[in-house]
Amino acid sequence: MRFIQVGVGGFGGAWVRALKQNKQAKVVGMVDINPAPMEKVCQEQGYDPAICFPSLKKALASVETDAVVCVTPPAYHRQPVVQALQAGLHVISEKPMAESMADCKAMLTAAKKARRHYVVSQNYRYDHAMFTIADLVRKGRIGEIGQVKIDFYKGVDFGGFRAEMDYPLLVDMSIHHFDLIRYLTGLNAVTVRGQAWNPKWSHFKGDCSSSICFAMANGARVLYNGSWCAKGDYCDWNGNWQIEGSKGTIRYENGVITLDKVDKGYSSTKTTVVKQRKLRRVGQGYVLDNFIKSIRSGDRPLTDVYDNIHSVAMVFSAVKAVKTERRVQVIDPTLKKLIGRKK
């Protein structure tokens, strides 16, 4: 399957490797406004410089392709994604889908009109630990989900566009955790409340610490506490989780999964450290493999735009909630109508 990758510098390197390692994928074009990262990729991976282009328009006019992978900063996702869909191509883009709900809605509309697959790479789902936890929940090991707590505390300094965002944690990072909430619990969020702030020592321009509470479809509550300017590094990138159900609790902390069996009352009758299931592919490699298989089989791919719109809606409703300090509906009437239309 032939691919054009748009954006090869920075995090684009993860997709350069994923495409190179997949025997079913062939890179026929690379696009970047900066020629330096393309030159570097050609030298390191052995690609012909002739497949490098300054714009997607130029690339589409020069090579034949089946799909586009978009790894530009989120604020610049809409244009190449919509352009590729309108050209009749399938698309993968990095998360978050975009930096505004208006752009997300436009991209969803474009995918519907084009009748092509558009997948948002929610690679955190395809991690050995998260996959294992989701499997435990689906097998009913802790019964019905009642409450969830996620703590994500890291001190990081990326520089670049993240340092200038109004809500860098919520918009750029929390999409991973919000999508994991849906993936691990099997539930969609209904409403959200929260607060966001910026400690005095923070190097971020916008609020990079948040406390968010989601009400889920079954009435469960999910409390998300996060910070990108924590004075210390207190978790891995998945965050620390406590998922409580009617039969017990699943805990995850820095790579360790623990299952507490609580049949009656509040006393644990058995605590087990759970061995993680090993996936053949993880992260972007899993997303890419599923994308290719889905196109060939005609099946719906995982984390496509129709699924991911529910996760990214959690992000922008949370932003609205912290701005207004009021409870906000996750799926607004306009989006509900758009989702409800047949593809």
Q: What 8-state DSSP symbol labels residue 167?
A: S
Report the chain's mean pLDDT, rounded to a whole number: 95
pLDDT the model gives residue 162: 87
pLDDT digits (tens, 9 = 90+) for 53-67: 999 999 999 999 999
**160 pLDDT exceeds 90?**
no
CATH number for position 32: 3.40.50.720
Q: Are residues 82 and 49 in the same domain?
A: yes
71 and 179 inside one domain: no
- As a whole number, mean pLDDT of residues 312-340 equals 94
Whether 320 is covered by a domain: the verdict is no
* Domain match, 131 and 268 both: yes
Considering the domain architecture, whether residues 180 and 191 belong to the same structural domain is answered as: yes
Q: Stretch 42-46: mean pLDDT, rounded?
A: 95
**Do residues 137 and 119 both lie within one domain?**
no
H/E element holding 138?
helix 128-138
CA 132 to chain centre: 18
Q: Report residue 330 as tokens.
A: 């996750």
Is 336 within a domain?
no
Query: Terminal CA-to-CA distance of the chain, rounded, Å?
Result: 24
Instruction: Dump pLDDT digits (tens) for 81-104.
Output: 999 999 999 999 999 999 899 999
Q: In what order do the strands lie in the sheet with 189-197?
A: 270-274, 256-261, 248-253, 240-245, 145-153, 221-227, 209-216, 189-197, 328-329
**Do the domain assignments include residue 292?**
yes
| Calpha distance 108→118 (Å, rounded) | 8
Both 217 and 241 in a single domain? Answer: yes
Task: Please report which confidence band the pLDDT of residue 343 belongs to, taking 50, 70 and 90 as the band edges.
Answer: very low
**Whether 29 and 86 share a structural domain:** yes
309 lies in some domain: no
Residue 73 forms part of a structural domain: yes
Structure-token pair, residue 233: 């590094």
- Is the domain of 48 the same as that of 67? yes
- Give domain status of residue 214, yes or no: yes
Phi/psi at 45 (5° precision): -110, -5
The total domain count for the chain is 2
Percent of the chain with pLDDT over 70: 99
Closest CA to 167 of 329, 332, 322, 311: 322
**CATH assignment at residue 245:** 3.30.360.10
Q: How confident is the model at residue 113 (pLDDT cuts 50, 70, 90)?
A: very high
Same domain, 151 and 212: yes
Cβ(29)–Cβ(65) below 8 Å: yes
Residues 132 and 249 in one domain: yes
Strand order in the sheet with 52-53: 52-53, 26-31, 2-6, 67-70, 90-94, 118-121
Q: Looking at the structure, do residues 132 and 270 belong to the same domain, yes or no?
A: yes
Of all residues in the chain, what percent are helix, strand and coil, respectively (each to 5)?
40, 25, 35
pLDDT band per the 50, 70, 90 thresholds, residue 267: confident
**Higher pLDDT pick, 47 / 162:** 47
- How many Å apart are CA 104 and CA 268, to the nearest integer? 44
Query: Do residues 136 and 94 share a domain?
Result: no
Q: Exposed e or buried b for every residue in 246-281, given b needs 16+ CB within 10 A?
A: eebbbbbbeeebebbebeeeeeeeeeeebeeeeeee
Cis peptide before 37 (omega within 30 of 0): no
Domain containing 33 equals 2-123+282-302
Task: State yes or no: pLDDT of 341 exceeds 70.
Answer: no
Q: Give yes or no for residue 188 having a pLDDT over 70.
A: yes
Asked if pLDDT for residue 342 goes beyond 80, the answer is no
Residue at 21 is within a domain: yes
> Do 141 and 257 form a contact (C-beta atoms < 8 A)?
no
**Average of pLDDT values for 226-246?**
96
Decide if 46 is inside a domain. yes
